[in-house]
């Protein structure tokens, strides 16, 4: 939609990641008009921005599915609900009243909804910088790996010890000439199964208690300096992936009056926040026993939408019946 439009809808979803996209589909299944706002230019949230080629192993019904393929399926499914997408726009203000919720976007657009569902994941995110990488971004240094093709036949250095670092090492191993994984400690935050798989690869060299202290090259990366226990070594490399995590920020959401706990929105078992017409689902939520998985987000989306249906129409039922029952 063009900027500065006024939008009227039943359900406004804030966040177009997997949970938001499934919420859009399910809202249509419940007969709602739905709009979706996201600050990113594309649908899919973190998956599209950070790991579209990664194999996802914990989505029901898929032994393994690429992030990109999962998003494509969710977008196709959501299209059945004919959602209004408001991309590259950030929700900045929220005012709840007896009849609904008014949300103002940074570009001047105003959305009037009967209910709001926040599915913003970790909120806005930015990668943690690599100190030695100043000035090298886009010249051989990247924070995310949206495509494997640029790494074919190259000596790749991956910096980090979390899931992203080990996932990239595992996925780039078939195409890269060599991979060096550099981590400042000898313990890793990544999933144990992935760590063991990377350790078993003859093409991956794991260097611990180390840091990348300098990057060299003429225009693009050609080599790096690695400091290990005070000793400096230089390795040839044509690509560096800084997988050091990211800084998350809920941004304006923190000013809306919803209860926030450690950068997460607190909800009850119906996915309702402390505001009567505001629900939340997915990684952004917090409650006792919370598990942050895509699969969990899908279930929370259905729970939120079904309970929101009763707020929109008090004569409706929380349980809609099974979709397989037909009409």
Q: Which of 279, 261, 257, 282 is nearest to 270 (CA)?
A: 279
Ramachandran angles phi, psi of 100, nearest 5°: 165, -155
Residue 19 labelled as part of a binding site: yes
d(CA 173, CA 180): 10
Q: Which of 128, 126, 151 is nearest to 140 (CA)?
A: 151
d(CA 247, CA 133): 17
Residue 125 labelled as part of a binding site: yes
Structure tokens at 287: 């409650």
Residue 324 labelled as part of a binding site: yes
Residue 97 labelled as part of a binding site: no
Residue 46 labelled as part of a binding site: yes
DSSP 215-261: EE-SSS--EEEEEETTEEEEEE-SEEEE---EEEE-GGGGGTT--EE
Q: Are 14 and 37 in contact (CB under 8 A)?
A: yes
Q: Are 101 and 279 in contact (CB under 8 A)?
A: no
Residue 51 labelled as part of a binding site: yes
Strand pairing report for 178-182 and 204-207 = parallel
CB atoms inside a 10 Å sphere around CB 55? 15
Q: Are 248 and 260 in contact (CB under 8 A)?
A: no
Q: Is 114 helix (H, G, I), strand (E, B) or coil?
A: strand
Residue 255 labelled as part of a binding site: no
Residue 283 labelled as part of a binding site: yes
Structure tokens at 258: 């919803």
Summarize the annotated binding site as residue ranges. 19, 38, 46, 51, 91, 125, 283, 324
Summarize the annotated binding site for FAD as residue ranges. 19, 38, 46, 51, 91, 125, 283, 324
């Amino acid at each position: 939609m063009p900027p500065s439009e006024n939008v009227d809808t039943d359900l406004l979803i804030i966040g177009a990641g997997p949970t938001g996209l499934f919420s859009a589909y399910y809202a249509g299944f419940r007969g709602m008009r739905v709009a979706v706002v996201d600050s990113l230019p594309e649908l899919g949230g973190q998956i599209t921005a950070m790991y579209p080629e990664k194999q996802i192993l914990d989505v029901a019904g898929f032994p393994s599915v690429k992030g990109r393929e999962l998003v494509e399926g969710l977008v196709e499914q959501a299209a059945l609900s004919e959602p209004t997408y408001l991309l590259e726009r950030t929700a900045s203000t929220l005012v709840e009243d007896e009849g609904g919720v008014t949300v103002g976007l940074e570009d001047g657009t105003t959305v009037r909804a009967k209910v709001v569902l926040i599915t913003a994941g970790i909120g806005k995110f930015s990668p943690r910088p690599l100190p030695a990488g100043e000035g090298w971004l886009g010249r051989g240094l990247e924070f995310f790996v949206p495509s494997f093709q640029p790494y074919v036949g190259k000596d790749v250095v991956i910096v980090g010890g979390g899931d992203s670092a080990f996932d990239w090492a595992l996925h780039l191993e078939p195409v890269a000439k060599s991979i060096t994984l550099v981590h400042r400690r000898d313990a890793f935050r990544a999933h144990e199964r992935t760590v063991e798989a990377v350790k078993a690869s003859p093409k991956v060299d794991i260097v611990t208690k180390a840091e990348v202290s300098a990057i060299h090259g003429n225009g693009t990366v050609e080599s790096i300096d690695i400091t290990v226990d005070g000793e400096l070594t230089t390795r040839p490399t044509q690509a560096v992936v800084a997988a050091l995590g990211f800084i998350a920020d809920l941004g304006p959401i923190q000013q809306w009056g919803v209860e926030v706990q450690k950068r997460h929105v607190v909800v009850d078992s119906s996915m309702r926040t402390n505001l009567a017409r505001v629900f939340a689902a997915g990684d952004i939520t917090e409650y006792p026993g919370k598990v942050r998985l895509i699969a969990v987000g899908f279930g929370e989306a259905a729970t939120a939408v079904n309970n929101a249906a009763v707020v929109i129409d008090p004569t409706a039922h929380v349980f809609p019946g099974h979709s397989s029952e037909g009409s």
